[in-house]
Amino acid sequence: MDLPVDKKKISIVCFSGDFDKIVAAFTIATGAAATNREVTMFFTFWGLNALKRNKGRAATGKSIMAKAFNFLMGGLNNLPLSRLNFGGISPKLMTGMMKKHNVATLPELVEAAHLLGVRIVACEMAMHILEIEKSEMIEEVKDVAGVATFLNESENSHIIFI
Amino acid sequence: MDLPVDKKKISIVCFSGDFDKIVAAFTIATGAAATNREVTMFFTFWGLNALKRNKGRAATGKSIMAKAFNFLMGGLNNLPLSRLNFGGISPKLMTGMMKKHNVATLPELVEAAHLLGVRIVACEMAMHILEIEKSEMIEEVKDVAGVATFLNESENSHIIFI
Amino acid sequence: MDLPVDKKKISIVCFSGDFDKIVAAFTIATGAAATNREVTMFFTFWGLNALKRNKGRAATGKSIMAKAFNFLMGGLNNLPLSRLNFGGISPKLMTGMMKKHNVATLPELVEAAHLLGVRIVACEMAMHILEIEKSEMIEEVKDVAGVATFLNESENSHIIFI
């Protein structure tokens, strides 16, 4: 029953779809992977927006309700800042500040995570509720799984909920 | 001093009172409990709203300030979506989408957690500040405890802050 | 590769700059430190506002963008409540409720954390992006570090992201 946590394993639940929190999640993920840690990112609810193939707004889904939510939530290019969003201007300003200081921007962080072998998992239940199909997500999403699978695979990992 | 984390123990700090985050907390809790994990949910601050016996708005507490906060925060039926809340309509729409896809709704998740033996603990200090009495909470709240007790009991658990 | 988590070590990532979440972070930190745990708080992004020497609003930084963000974010006295902030009135009302019930206020919690030996670390990358200098932060900030250093030092700790 008792197993030690493997200091090299990190599991991040990416629940939030806020620009700043997704940046934080990918910064931890890439920093961990670059230092030889085994990293899994489990995207659920708002976090799924960071995985959509279509990075702008699109009314995907079958029901009117799902179409409305998916349109309003948008994709990687529409993630709002968690505060002081100013109608979506702030993430763009923030990206400018990141570039100015030679810090990896969000698309660069996402690409780095893929290159470094971070495992990207999408939450089955949230996809189901929001009517998001696997085909609508970036090809780096290899697995679609439920919470029980995630917990099983994270038994010896640090679990971080963002 | 060094004890391994028990892979079967999960402690969730439910700080947020957002509808979507409380759903996430109960989804993890019930998924963990259903797969034989020992789960504790420690509700504090906004999270306490999910434990109030009165599920609507009520001006409870003694001071005017506490009455105002408790009324504005409401109970399980007033939890707002963390984004795109639209004056409280979205949690209702989201519940509709959950039902449509045969996913357990929040009240069902709460009931499942109780049936599966998830331990529900309320934060003593937050209750004190917000003037919430134990008698005003659902009977499933067996313990009222402080942060030190929570940390002691979570020493060998995964700790997840939501 | 496998090391047990030391039940006495807690690492808190303070990402949020919300008044209520910073209070939660310091409550956990001081509660843990008072019960002989080794605690590190890693402040990043919005969380850095809690460490600024200037506790009010100040247009610090070199670029116009950084000046604007730092002014808008403010310091320890301007942290907003994550909900029902009412233009900044609520954190003051909440502080009144904490005093009334003899619960430590935020400045008292911060001081207690320092006295109890909680290690305060500031995130190098976030300081870089927001153009915040170490000299602009309270003297209790001993270390400025990156995410890799934080992960290395937290390998045997509970990691809590707030």
Give alpha helix (H) positions in chain A.
19-34, 64-73, 89-100, 106-115, 124-130, 147-153
Q: Which of A156-160, B47-51, B75-79, C6-10 has the lowest mean pLDDT?
A: C6-10
Contacts of C15 in chain A (CB under 8 A): 20-21, 24, 162
| Closest chain C C-alpha to A5 CA, distance in angstroms | 6
pLDDT in tens, A56-115: 999 999 999 999 999 999 999 999 999 999 999 999 999 999 999 999 999 999 999 999
Tell me what the pLDDT averaged over chain C comes to: 95
ipTM of the complex: 0.94
Average pLDDT for C43-47: 98
As a whole number of angstroms, the distance between CA A156 and CA C59 comes to 45
Q: Are B111 and B117 in contact (CB under 8 A)?
A: no
pLDDT in tens, B17-41: 999 999 999 999 999 999 999 999 9
Indicate yes or no: CB of C5 within 8 angstroms of CB of B4: yes
pLDDT tops 80 at residue C40: yes
Give the percent of chain B with pLDDT over 90.
94
Among B95, B97, B106, B160, which would you mutate to test the A interface (most chain A Cβ atoms within 10 Å of its Cβ)?
B97
Among B2, B3, B7, B23, which would you mutate to test the A interface (most chain A Cβ atoms within 10 Å of its Cβ)?
B7
pLDDT in tens, C73-84: 999 999 999 999
Indicate yes or no: CB of C1 within 8 angstroms of CB of A7: yes
Distances (CA, A) of A42 to A133, B40, C55: 16, 22, 37
pTM here? 0.95
Average pLDDT for C125-140: 96
Contacts of C14 in chain A (CB under 8 A): none
Q: Could you tell me the pLDDT band of residue C1, with boundaries at 50, 70 and 90?
A: very low
pLDDT tops 70 at residue B3: no
Contacts of A3 in chain B (CB under 8 A): 4-5, 7
Distances (CA, A) of A132 to A41, A114, B103: 18, 21, 15
pLDDT in tens, B121-132: 999 999 999 999
Indicate yes or no: CB of A17 within 8 angstroms of CB of B83: yes
pLDDT computed for residue B89 by the predictor: 95
In chain A, helix, strand, coil percent, each to 5? 50, 20, 35
Q: Dihedral of the CA atoms C142, C144, C148, C153 (nearest 10)?
A: 0
Tell me what the pLDDT averaged over chain A comes to: 95
pLDDT computed for residue A1 by the predictor: 40
Domains of chain B: 9-161 (3.40.1260.10)
Q: Could you tell me the pLDDT band of residue C142, with boundaries at 50, 70 and 90?
A: confident
Q: Could you tell me the pLDDT band of residue A35, with boundaries at 50, 70 and 90?
A: very high
Among C15, C18, C162, C13, CA closest to C79: C18
Contacts of C96 in chain B (CB under 8 A): 65
Is residue B105 helix, strand or coil? coil
pLDDT computed for residue B5 by the predictor: 67
Main-chain dihedrals φ then ψ at residue A158, nearest 5 degrees: -70, 130
Contacts of A35 in chain C (CB under 8 A): 148, 151-152
Average pLDDT for A143-158: 96
Indicate yes or no: CB of A65 within 8 angstroms of CB of B34: no
pLDDT tops 80 at residue B8: yes
pLDDT in tens, C87-124: 999 999 999 999 999 999 999 999 999 999 999 999 99
